[in-house]
Amino acid sequence: MGEATVAESDFKIIQDTRRLEGTPLPQVSMIVPVYNVENYVADCLLSILANSVNMALELIIIDDGSDDESVKVIKKLIGTGIWPQVLFLQQENRGLSAVRNAGIRLARGKYVGFLDSDDFILQGGLHCMVQYADDMNCDIVLGRSLIFDSQTRHVKPFYDQSLWDILLGGKSYRTIEAMTCPVVLSLEPNANYRLIRRQFLMDHQLSFPEGLVFEDLPVHLRALVKADRIGLLDIPYYWYRVNRPGKITDEKSQRRFDILKVAKRAISDLRSCPVTVEQGGATLRGVFRLAWGCGMMTLPDQRKAFFSQACQLFSLNIPQSWVNAYLAQNSQDLRHIILGALMASGGTTLLVNLSFGKRNAFSLGWFILREHYANAVMRAGWAWLMRVRILQTRGKTDKHLLP
């Protein structure tokens, strides 16, 4: 996967201000896929512009066949003449993965970053990421994420905040590898909160699966497993926008089933690598959470089919040793014990009932104990049953039992 040139047959070139000869290569190539985000893309691009001071930045914008005013908004914005090197292309709709893969092929920077066009990044954050990657010779650098509500304007921590706290251990930065810190594989599989060394991407032929949504998972896991040095920075780098009309990850549709295809590919890919049992167990935390979240967002009449396929996928493709490691690693987290036990052993009916808010303490507890996955599960399952009994005696309901 080498550096590519823009082919007229593949793209319509809207603007190209890159200096291709006689100038040093960019430090960073930021790839921004665009699709129907006329109300949000300016925030995204301006956040990148705010990071371009004292940095050789290449901005690759690829419109994926928008039918709103996104292209018009971008052309007006980047026509001011204050922008770094910009390549702005348009293509027929092929999906997010195809756009990212094209951007990787066209990128010339030492590092490659991604930013979905309805999100934005911290001012100065990109400089911190690049400097740390250079200083510590990292293959990948990660920054924390925040959730930004587009309606209320409220900001809250991202879903994996507790994992970040564990990984950083109170430090402002840290350099790790997945072999000695497998919990890094449990982080949210989102491409936007990281920089990746371009040569590393090329050496390991990393690409996003095309034609599917939830495409980040295989690249996320393979990159972290293959990286010799992973940088972690305690900065609020990536701001993930929620609660906006038209967001794919908010919709209830048949496309939710794509996560099962992506998960199968990611698990198969990971099993082809020399990974430890602990790394396999850490991987399952993120995979199970994604599957549960997607199952919750299927249409009601499709939910049984989704969880049936999920349970079959995991029972056939996940080594038992990974499941045991996962349950041992999460032995104090009741939500993940329940989720893992059901996902990995065919608990379709209970998963469907839970997704509709039907919670039967005895059935869940007995299911966990019956499977005899590991001693940790036996102890945690019994502790969970006792906790439920105490809460019921007090006339209380634990509303936070499941994700």
What are 77-88's pLDDT values in tens digits? 998 878 989 999
Round the average pLDDT of the chain to a whole number and report it.
87
CB 142 within 8 A of CB 238: no
Taking residues 254-259, report their average pLDDT: 92
**pLDDT computed for residue 360 by the predictor:** 59
CB 337 within 8 A of CB 371: no
**pLDDT computed for residue 361 by the predictor:** 52
Residue 266: which of 252, 248, 250, 286 has the closest Cα?
286
At residue 322 the predicted structure's pLDDT band, cuts being 50, 70 and 90, is: very high
Lowest mean pLDDT among 21-30, 85-94, 122-131, 154-163: 21-30
Residue 263: which of 316, 226, 224, 202 has the closest Cα?
316
With a cut of 70, say whether residue 10 has pLDDT above it: yes
Percentage of the residues of the chain whose pLDDT score is greater than 90: 69
**pLDDT computed for residue 51 by the predictor:** 95
Q: Greatest CA span in the chain, whole angstroms?
A: 76
Q: Is 281 helix (H, G, I), strand (E, B) or coil?
A: helix
**pLDDT computed for residue 225 by the predictor:** 97
With a cut of 80, say whether residue 335 has pLDDT above it: no
Which of 33 and 3 is assigned the larger pLDDT?
A: 33
Q: Which residues pair with 238 in a beta bridge?
A: 121, 145
With a cut of 70, say whether residue 170 has pLDDT above it: yes
What are 44-65's pLDDT values in tens digits? 999 999 999 889 999 999 999 9
Taking residues 123-148, report their average pLDDT: 97
Taking residues 16-43, report their average pLDDT: 91
With a cut of 90, say whether residue 162 has pLDDT above it: yes
CB 57 within 8 A of CB 26: yes
With a cut of 90, say whether residue 334 has pLDDT above it: no
Residue 313: which of 284, 338, 335, 333 has the closest Cα?
284
| Token pair of 376 as six digits | 């940790």
**pLDDT computed for residue 248 by the predictor:** 62
| Token pair of 344 as six digits | 């990995």
With a cut of 90, say whether residue 98 has pLDDT above it: yes
Question: How far from the centroid of its chain's Cα atoms is residue 23's Cα?
Answer: 34
With a cut of 90, say whether residue 12 has pLDDT above it: yes
**pLDDT computed for residue 15 by the predictor:** 94
* Domain spans in the chain, listed from the N-terminal domain onward: 252-403
**Cβ neighbours, 10 Å, residue 84:** 20
**pLDDT computed for residue 397 by the predictor:** 38
| Residue 288 dihedral angles phi and psi, to the nearest 5° | -65, -40
With a cut of 50, say whether residue 372 has pLDDT above it: no
Residues 6+ apart with CB under 8 A from 325: 277, 278, 280, 281, 282
At residue 364 the predicted structure's pLDDT band, cuts being 50, 70 and 90, is: low
At residue 336 the predicted structure's pLDDT band, cuts being 50, 70 and 90, is: confident
Max avg pLDDT among 19-28, 234-243, 246-255, 357-366: 234-243
Residue appearing with tokens 């890094």: 184
What are 247-256's pLDDT values in tens digits? 666 667 788 9
**pLDDT computed for residue 350 by the predictor:** 85
At residue 244 the predicted structure's pLDDT band, cuts being 50, 70 and 90, is: confident
Counting beta carbons within 10 angstroms of the beta carbon of residue 283, is it exposed (0 to 12), middle (13 to 18) or buried (19 or more)? buried
**pLDDT computed for residue 341 by the predictor:** 80
Taking residues 78-101, report their average pLDDT: 93
Which of 249 and 240 is assigned the larger pLDDT?
A: 240
Residues 6+ apart with CB under 8 A from 248: 213, 255
